[in-house]
Amino acid sequence: MPEDASPPPARRRRHGGRAGNTRRTGPAIEQMPWRIPINMDRPTEPMPPEGVARMHDAAMRILEEIGIEFLHPEAARILRKAGCTVDGENVRMGRDMVLEHIAKAPSQFTITPRNPDRQITIGGNAILFGNVSSPPNYWDMEIGRKVSGTRAQCQDLLRLTQYFNCIHFAGGYPVEPVDVHASVRHLDVLFDKLTLCDKVAHAYSLGPERVEDVIEMVRIAGGLTHEEFDATPRMYTNINSTSPLKHDWPMLDGWMRLARRGQGLIVSPFTLAGAMAPVTMAGAVAQSLAEALAAVVLAQIIKPGVPCVIGTFTSNVDMKTGAPAFGTPEYMRATQMTGQMARFYGLPMRASGVCAANVPDGQAMWETEHSLWAAIQSGSNVVYHAAGWLEGGLIASPEKFVMDCEVLQQLQRYMEPEIWDTSDDALALDIIAEVGPNGHFFGCQHTQDRYETAFYQPFLSDWKNYEGWEAAGGVWTAERAHARFKAILADFEPPPMDVAIREELSDFVARRKREGGAPTDF
Amino acid sequence: MPEDASPPPARRRRHGGRAGNTRRTGPAIEQMPWRIPINMDRPTEPMPPEGVARMHDAAMRILEEIGIEFLHPEAARILRKAGCTVDGENVRMGRDMVLEHIAKAPSQFTITPRNPDRQITIGGNAILFGNVSSPPNYWDMEIGRKVSGTRAQCQDLLRLTQYFNCIHFAGGYPVEPVDVHASVRHLDVLFDKLTLCDKVAHAYSLGPERVEDVIEMVRIAGGLTHEEFDATPRMYTNINSTSPLKHDWPMLDGWMRLARRGQGLIVSPFTLAGAMAPVTMAGAVAQSLAEALAAVVLAQIIKPGVPCVIGTFTSNVDMKTGAPAFGTPEYMRATQMTGQMARFYGLPMRASGVCAANVPDGQAMWETEHSLWAAIQSGSNVVYHAAGWLEGGLIASPEKFVMDCEVLQQLQRYMEPEIWDTSDDALALDIIAEVGPNGHFFGCQHTQDRYETAFYQPFLSDWKNYEGWEAAGGVWTAERAHARFKAILADFEPPPMDVAIREELSDFVARRKREGGAPTDF
């Protein structure tokens, strides 16, 4: 089992792997239960109806008159056969055809991972949060500087992904383990992801071998036949267009393979206004929509009804430095505008939890808050990078992960309708009369019956007064988060997995490594 | 001029008070212009219409059946004469009477300070932000610990209040100067506020002498006759009920004096669910509404049409420690629910920018973000404590002030409709066609014409990549905010004031000090 850096759970328990942690008696933190949050807030819709119509017309005119480049001959063939005008790699498609095909995509679907209790619903009013994906670098308070990602760090972040109930799916690699050769990296990380987590997993669309390997590993981990795997979504991919106006070969190849297998498909153009898209937000959103819808059309031609999600990653560059900015006012409005269009097209939507900050400080949190509120306000269904992201996605940080999970739990609680219950019991007129103008509510039975569950209880926020906080060491949030991170790792138990399945996964990885893994010429 | 700790502006300039700052050439920061933000987002309304009806009924039943204590005999007399049932200090009022009187309050009004360019509109879709008010303590990164407030700190925070265009009014004392005796504190702070700021000022309702002194000082600062002062709002007060169900004497006295003079009136019950109000949010909101509306009725009887604002300060206690929590999910929903009711009653609304955090770190910003978004989502018109608040209002911090102003600027920009413009120019189809799939948008004319104004430019957020940030010293947000605070102080120029008016103000303060100031037995 050379690809498994950590001992399997059974052995770990037998050999006292948690011996260093004997002082702990309870869990590392008290957290909220696993739950799919339902967002019933009316979306924020900056564009009036005529703005939506104009935005739709602009996206359609990009598809009809300008076209999208599909750098995959098979994709171009499929699109030509379906009626598109193909000129080399440039593909143009009429709006009637576009609307006909995207109407086949479901407005809501499920993905079922190896633990069916972790099934997620994408679409409707559900809103799901996932871990940070794909940073090449790592930062934590112990190291105190930016370093290249490693497999051990990736495993730790996968443990956080599994541990927190407010994280609903395991997205891309939470940090790129650059100490593992790129030809076999997907094998090692997917082995780690599928053994350390039992939540919905993602495959990068980086050429046929990686996608096929991940499909096979997800199928094995789920104990599924090929037919069972194909019958309903078990995993998903996310592709980014190469903006402006282009889908590249590796992404399209994975997209088409997962479309054929009926798996979840998310397309998220990365349209930085002023760089890869017009400097005006409406132009950047229109271009993003055209790029996304073109991929949805391709998927629906290949397999009508396959679940597709359109993502937004429209932000702006800092025009002084060219660096991308995140969680800005323009980012928020672009996300809300995309949400209006996703509802117009009847497609689920993906947004992100993002920031430009380099360390988990105040700026990191106000930028992340802005992006998370934009996700809620836009009616987004899938929130990528919702925990652990720093430096515009170039750094993964466990402290930021823990801090974000405190925020995500609060957002999950924010959506629980009992808060705004106006039953007689909640209005409590009898209690107000009983306590009267000279009493207080601490002691009354109405309070005593409810005080343990009435309010959100944080695991990271410190609500002590200054003196209490100072007496406890005067620890700022990021340092407290570091301590929680360490406590969670000490406390972590991988989810159970059948020994035979684990061995089959392990054998698969060993065989594919012997075969050389995947090409690295993408 | 013993009450003025800092030299007047003319002398400061003459004697080279800015000599220590000669290395600076431009302003301390590049900030957004003064503007009244207009919030066109549809409010978030958790309660269905029947919930609003039930909430209204509950508030009315508290007023009709339980009653509110008015600890001011004159107030009780006025209310009895108007038809209320008065039993000692307990006052009950029927819903017909309540609705009749609150209907007289305007849905929108202006307050005009000594500089008419700083006039503010309260109501409608306008949303205004004010400085932190009333913390007894101060914390900054240089001192590094919590200390009692001083007049010098109060002046520095008033300079920030004036300096930032995103701060629209000067609320209560940004920190209590406990080094100034309570009998004359209002004279010194109002002198400082009216000379260091030209924005709308507030008076504490702490007994007749203080209110009358502040009225007189605001009148003098504005160069107004008594008739001119009375003709239109020039200032305002904010009172808090003594929850549950009580308005105390000093607050009511100030409330009635300012009502007679036709000034702005804000009533903000402080209903911590589980302590001074029911543990259930609906009960806490109903009680808060009843307490607030009772004060509005009193004001409308005294002077029909006087401008009144209902505030919300409903949060919850941490049931483990009894400490108040702020910016929680429950706080957000209570604010939104109150917003629904403010619209139902046709009254402008006040909310707050608050947190429980003790230092300006990640927690401070996520809690403050939650409270600011609740203000926006609730359609609030006045946002108290929007800059500088820590420790549940017990600490004022200049770093937090500067960090909050970065957020407030972003919220102001978020409300600018050009972001979601869908004109042909903004959709930019020609430019998308021109750049095509192999170009980029940096160099094109459409970008060049707009790049300086297209996107929000922060003054505090650091958008450099990690290496650039590290090369610049690797400074975390709170430390950067401290440097901005110092630069702003070095750069600060008080707004112009007529020399004769300044002397009249100064003479007034000197005379009232000779007379002993105000009693301190409140």
Domain boundaries, chain A: 1-412+476-522
- Based on C-alpha coordinates, what's the Rg of chain B? 24
> Do B429 and A66 count as a contact with CB atoms less than 8 A apart?
yes
DSSP helix/strand/coil, B252: helix
CA geometry: angle at B111 spanning B265 and B354, to 5°? Answer: 60
Q: How many CB contacts within 8 angstroms connect chain A with chain B?
A: 403
> Do B447 and A279 count as a contact with CB atoms less than 8 A apart?
yes
What whole-number distance in Å separates Cα of residue A82 and Cα of residue A296? Answer: 13
Which residues in chain A have their CB less than 8 angstroms from residue B62's CB? Answer: 429, 432
Specify the residue for token string 């063939």.
A77
Task: Name the nearest CA neighbour of B172 among B139, B201, B214, B208.
Answer: B201
What whole-number distance in Å separates Cα of residue B226 and Cα of residue B212? Answer: 12
- Based on C-alpha coordinates, what's the Rg of chain A? 24
DSSP symbol at A117? G
For chain A, first and last CA: distance in Å?
Answer: 28
Model pLDDT, residue A22: 42
What HEC string does A33-95 produce?
Answer: CCCCCECCCCCCCCCCHHHHHHHHHHHHHHHHHHCEEECCHHHHHHHHHCCCEEECCEEECCH
Contact A230, A204 (CB under 8 A): no
**CB contact set of B97 (below 8 Å; sequence gap of 6+):** B82, B83, B84, B297
Model pLDDT, residue B397: 98
Which of B280, B446, B485 would best serve as a mutation to test chain A binding (most A beta carbons within 10 A)?
B280
Residue B482 has pLDDT above 80, yes or no: yes
Q: How do residues B407-438 score in pLDDT, each as one tens digit?
A: 999 999 999 999 999 999 999 999 999 999 99
DSSP helix/strand/coil, B8: coil
**DSSP H or E run through A372:** helix A362-377
Structure tokens at B436: 């095509």
Task: Name the nearest CA neighbour of A282 among A95, A60, A55, A52.
Answer: A55
Q: Is A14 on the interface with B (CB under 8 A)?
A: no
In chain B, which among 22-81 make CB contacts under 8 A with chain A?
40-42, 44-47, 50-51, 54-55, 58, 61-62, 65-66, 68-69
Nearest to A446 among B42, B279, B468 (CB): B279
Model pLDDT, residue B25: 57
Which of A66, A432, A448 would best serve as a mutation to test chain B binding (most B beta carbons within 10 A)?
A432
Which residues in chain B have their CB less than 8 angstroms from residue A433's CB? Answer: 65-66
Beta strands in B124-163 (DSSP E): 128-131, 137-138, 147-148
Task: Name the nearest CA neighbour of A301 among A123, A122, A77, A89.
Answer: A77
What whole-number distance in Å separates Cα of residue A340 and Cα of residue A288? Answer: 13
Which residues in chain A have their CB less than 8 angstroms from residue B452's CB? Answer: 319
What whole-number distance in Å separates Cα of residue A274 and Cα of residue B444? Answer: 9
Q: How do residues B248-288 score in pLDDT, each as one tens digit?
A: 999 999 999 999 999 999 999 999 999 999 999 999 999 99
Residue B521 has pLDDT above 90, yes or no: no
What whole-number distance in Å separates Cα of residue A128 and Cα of residue A133? Answer: 15
For chain B, first and last CA: distance in Å?
Answer: 28
> Do A478 and B414 count as a contact with CB atoms less than 8 A apart?
no
Nearest to A358 among B364, B373, B466 (CB): B466
> Do B282 and A422 count as a contact with CB atoms less than 8 A apart?
yes
> Do B392 and A465 count as a contact with CB atoms less than 8 A apart?
yes
Cα separation values, B65 from A428, B60, B278, Å: 14, 8, 17
Contact A216, A109 (CB under 8 A): no
CA geometry: angle at A52 spanning A47 and A55, to 5°? Answer: 110
Please give the single-letter amino acid code of residue B366.
W
Distance from CA of A196 to the nearest CA of B (A): 29
In chain B, which among 257-276 make CB contacts under 8 A with chain A?
273-276
Cα separation values, B230 from A241, B171, B198, B262, B358, Å: 64, 20, 19, 6, 42
Which residues in chain B have their CB less than 8 angstroms from residue A318's CB? Answer: 455, 463
Task: Name the nearest CA neighbour of B385 among B331, B345, B346, B340.
Answer: B331
What whole-number distance in Å separates Cα of residue B285 and Cα of residue B334? Answer: 6
Which residues in chain B have their CB less than 8 angstroms from residue A328's CB? Answer: 410, 455-456
In CATH, the architecture of A1-412+476-522 is Alpha-Beta Barrel (3.20)
Going by pLDDT thresholds of 50, 70 and 90, the confidence category of residue B522 is: low
Q: Is B441 on the interface with A (CB under 8 A)?
A: yes
Contact B314, B343 (CB under 8 A): no
What whole-number distance in Å separates Cα of residue A349 and Cα of residue B162? Answer: 43
Which residues in chain B have their CB less than 8 angstroms from residue A339's CB? Answer: none
Dihedral of CA B320/B323/B329/B333: which sign? positive
Mean pLDDT of B485-500: 97
Structure tokens at A382: 């899938």
For A364, the closest chain B residue by CA position comes to B362
Which of A413, A441, A450 would best serve as a mutation to test chain B binding (most B beta carbons within 10 A)?
A441
In chain A, which among 482-501 make CB contacts under 8 A with chain B?
none
What whole-number distance in Å separates Cα of residue A458 and Cα of residue B522? Answer: 38
CA geometry: angle at B513 spanning B509 and B517, to 5°? Answer: 105
Q: Is the ipTM of this complex over 0.90?
A: yes
Nearest to A275 among B330, B395, B442 (CB): B442
Instruction: Count the alpha carbons within 13 Å of B15 in the hemisphere toward its beta carbon.
Output: 8
Q: Is B434 on the interface with A (CB under 8 A)?
A: no
Which of B56, B341, B358 would best serve as a mutation to test chain A binding (most A beta carbons within 10 A)?
B358
Beta strands in B71-172 (DSSP E): 85-87, 90-92, 108-111, 120-123, 128-131, 137-138, 147-148, 169-170
Distance from CA of B488 to the nearest CA of A (A): 20
In chain B, which among 386-425 make CB contacts under 8 A with chain A?
391-392, 394-395, 403, 406-407, 410-411, 413-414, 416-417, 419-423, 425
In this prediction the pTM is 0.95
Please give the single-letter amino acid code of residue B170.
A
DSSP symbol at B126? B
Residue B22 has pLDDT above 90, yes or no: no
Task: Name the nearest CA neighbour of A324 among A273, A282, A372, A373.
Answer: A273
Model pLDDT, residue A522: 58
What whole-number distance in Å separates Cα of residue B318 and Cα of residue A452? Answer: 10
> Do B463 and A431 count as a contact with CB atoms less than 8 A apart?
no
DSSP helix/strand/coil, A189: helix
Which residues in chain A have their CB less than 8 angstroms from residue B370's CB? Answer: 369, 410
Q: What share of chain A is helix, strand, coil (3-state, %, to 5)?
A: 45, 15, 40
> How high is the mean pLDDT of chain B?
94
Q: Is B431 on the interface with A (CB under 8 A)?
A: yes
Q: How do residues B173-212 score in pLDDT, each as one tens digit?
A: 999 999 999 999 999 999 999 999 999 999 999 989 999 9
What whole-number distance in Å separates Cα of residue A387 and Cα of residue A168? Answer: 11
Query: Are β-strands A324-325 and A315-317 bridged in parallel, bridged antiparallel, or unpaired?
Result: antiparallel
Distance from CA of B460 to the nearest CA of A (A): 8
Model pLDDT, residue A230: 97
Task: Name the nearest CA neighbour of A280 among B419, B101, B350.
Answer: B419
- Dihedrals phi, psi of A340, to nearest 5 degrees: -60, -40
DSSP symbol at B125? T
Which residues in chain A have their CB less than 8 angstroms from residue B441's CB? Answer: 244, 273-279
What whole-number distance in Å separates Cα of residue B330 and Cα of residue A231? Answer: 42
Going by pLDDT thresholds of 50, 70 and 90, the confidence category of residue B12 is: very low
What whole-number distance in Å separates Cα of residue A199 and Cα of residue A114? Answer: 7
Nearest to B278 among A329, A411, A441 (CB): A441
Q: How do residues B59-98 score in pLDDT, each as one tens digit?
A: 999 999 999 999 999 999 999 999 999 999 999 999 999 9
User: Within 10 Å of residue B152's Cβ, how many Cβ atoms?
Assistant: 15
Q: What percent of chain B has pLDDT over 70?
A: 95
Which residues in chain B have their CB less than 8 angstroms from residue A439's CB? Answer: 244
Q: Is B120 on the interface with A (CB under 8 A)?
A: no
Q: A350 pairs with which residues across the strands? A: A311, A382
What whole-number distance in Å separates Cα of residue B119 and Cα of residue A82? Answer: 62
Q: How do residues B364-408 score in pLDDT, each as one tens digit?
A: 999 999 999 999 999 999 999 999 999 999 999 999 999 999 999
Q: Which residues of chain A have pLDDT under 70?
A: 1-25, 522
Which residues in chain A have their CB less than 8 angstroms from residue B364's CB? Answer: 362, 477
Q: A277 pairs with which residues across the strands? A: A273
Which residues in chain B have their CB less than 8 angstroms from residue A432's CB? Answer: 62, 66, 244-245, 277-278, 283, 286-287
DSSP symbol at B266? E
Please give the single-letter amino acid code of residue A434.
E
What whole-number distance in Å separates Cα of residue B416 and Cα of residue B406? Answer: 16
Nearest to B365 among A275, A365, A391 (CB): A365
Contact A130, A235 (CB under 8 A): no
What whole-number distance in Å separates Cα of residue A280 and Cα of residue A99? Answer: 26
